[in-house]
């Protein structure tokens, strides 16, 4: 099921249902483009036509932020739960580890990426990491695209932030035969241990965003989109 919030069609079922959907896609070698979106990204799509076109081409838009769930409530629509991108990524890695599926990582600083890879190898000893590359690379040489074409990973996790990661996926997915391509933002920073996720209590109170702002006050600029998002949601509700 899908629910439209502003201009984006969000996956509205549970994380378990989403995982089953993705596992079926992996089994069928079905190319899939996953965007993990929050209120800020929904607002960005509203103001940027190119990005909106890219997002419309995605197969799954995951409600990564609590703002999206609240927005749905305001419009009397129902999204079952927030699905944090990092949790989805970890669940897919667990599945890949268990089923010997191939994984590729692209993004973040080289040191972060290396730390993440060693953490993953410790925890998931059978994980078949077929390749990886840091995210500060000029893509015009198609090096990574060619690597993905040759290695044919089942999952390609891209951590370059929005919109860079989604622009890249949108371009590359057209050139390959298979793969679940997922934009994961700052997730490599978290798995590497460089950035801590909010403690469970904060997560349960839906205050993960506040914890992030307090840990990295520079991020405050990102949340100015939130009140504007709420206004747009209310405006849209009047037009439904
Ligand atoms: N990044 C990258 N290449 C770039 C710009 C950013 O690999 O050219 C990485 C950056 O190192 C970080 C991630 O992209 O690991 C972006 O994280 P951010 O927290 O900004 O993403 P969000 O989760 O907010 O979308």
pLDDT tens per residue, range 63-118 = 999 999 999 999 999 999 999 999 999 999 999 999 999 999 999 999 999 999 99
164 lines ligand 1 (CB under 6 A): yes
Q: What predicted TM-score, i.e. pTM, was given to this entire model?
A: 0.95
Number of domains in the chain: 1
- Compute, in angstroms, the gap from residue 234 CA to the centroid of ligand 1: 31
- Compute, in angstroms, the gap from residue 187 CA to the centroid of ligand 1: 9
Residue nearest to atom 15 of ligand 1 (CA): 108
Ligand 1, residue 222: give the atom nearest the CA.
24
> Could you read off the pLDDT of 20-62 as tens digits, one per residue?
999 999 999 999 999 999 999 999 999 999 999 999 999 999 9
- Compute, in angstroms, the gap from residue 124 CA to the centroid of ligand 1: 24
For residues 180-189, average pLDDT: 97
pLDDT band at 224 (very low <50, low <70, confident <90, very high): confident
84 lines ligand 1 (CB under 6 A): no
| Structural domain span for residue 224 | 2-239
**What are the residues whose beta carbons fall under 8 Å from the beta carbon of 99, sequence distance 6 or more?**
none
How far apart, in whole angstroms, are the C-alpha atoms of residue 84 and residue 67?
A: 12
CB-neighbour burial class of residue 225 (10 A; exposed 0-12, middle 13-18, buried 19+): buried
Residue nearest to atom 20 of ligand 1 (CA): 161
Look up residue 108 and give its two tokens: 């973040």
Angle at 157 between CA 108 and CA 68, to 5 degrees: 95
């Amino acid at each position: 099921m899908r629910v439209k919030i502003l201009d984006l069609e969000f996956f509205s079922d549970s994380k378990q249902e989403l995982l089953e959907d993705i596992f079926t896609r992996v089994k069928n070698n079905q190319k899939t483009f996953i965007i993990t979106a929050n209120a800020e990204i929904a607002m960005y799509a509203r103001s940027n036509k190119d990005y909106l076109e890219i997002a419309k081409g995605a197969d799954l838009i995951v409600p990564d932020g609590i703002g999206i769930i609240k927005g749905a409530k305001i419009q009397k629509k129902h999204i079952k739960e927030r699905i944090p991108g990092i949790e989805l990524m970890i669940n897919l890695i667990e599945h890949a580890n268990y089923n010997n599926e191939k994984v590729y990582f692209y993004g973040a600083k080289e040191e972060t990426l290396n730390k993440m890879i060693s953490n993953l190898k410790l925890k998931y000893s059978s994980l078949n990491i077929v390749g990886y590359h840091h995210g500060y690379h000029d893509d015009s040489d198609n090096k990574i695209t060619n690597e993905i074409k040759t290695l044919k990973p089942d999952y390609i996790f891209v951590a370059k932030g929005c919109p860079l990661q989604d622009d890249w996926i949108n371009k590359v997915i057209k050139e390959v035969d298979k793969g679940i391509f997922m934009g994961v933002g700052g997730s490599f920073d978290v798995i590497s241990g460089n950035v801590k996720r909010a403690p469970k209590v904060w997560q349960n109170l839906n205050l993960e965003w506040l914890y992030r702002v307090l840990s990295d006050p520079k991020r405050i600029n990102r949340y100015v989109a939130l009140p504007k998002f709420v206004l747009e949601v209310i405006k849209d509700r009047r037009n439904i």
